[in-house]
Amino acid sequence: MDTYTREDLMFYITVEAIQEDAIRRIGRELELHSVRNGLEWGLCFDLCTVINTAIDQAQSICNKKKRIN
């Protein structure tokens, strides 16, 4: 089982990944200020739902394992 510290990142997106995707999709790199604003809006818009769903799913898996044992 993996171990994590409280400071570990759970997810990250690199500038390189964004620019590579932009080149693949639209044929050019993007101005990163606009990209960051869009990412912040998208992630903050419904982040609570995403986190709550992840916690619920993790709890469900844990409960199933307890019932099996």
Domain map (residue ranges) of the chain: 15-68
pTM attached to this predicted model? 0.57
The residue with greater pLDDT, 20 or 62, is 20
Please measure the distance between the N-terminal and C-terminal CA atoms of the chain and give it in whole angstroms.
18
User: CA torsion angle for 39, 42, 43, 48 (degrees, to 10)?
Assistant: 170
pLDDT tens digit string along 14-40?
A: 999 999 999 999 999 999 998 888 888
Tell me, rounded to whole angstroms, the distance of Cα 50 from its chain centroid. 9
Q: What is the DSSP letter of 42?
A: H
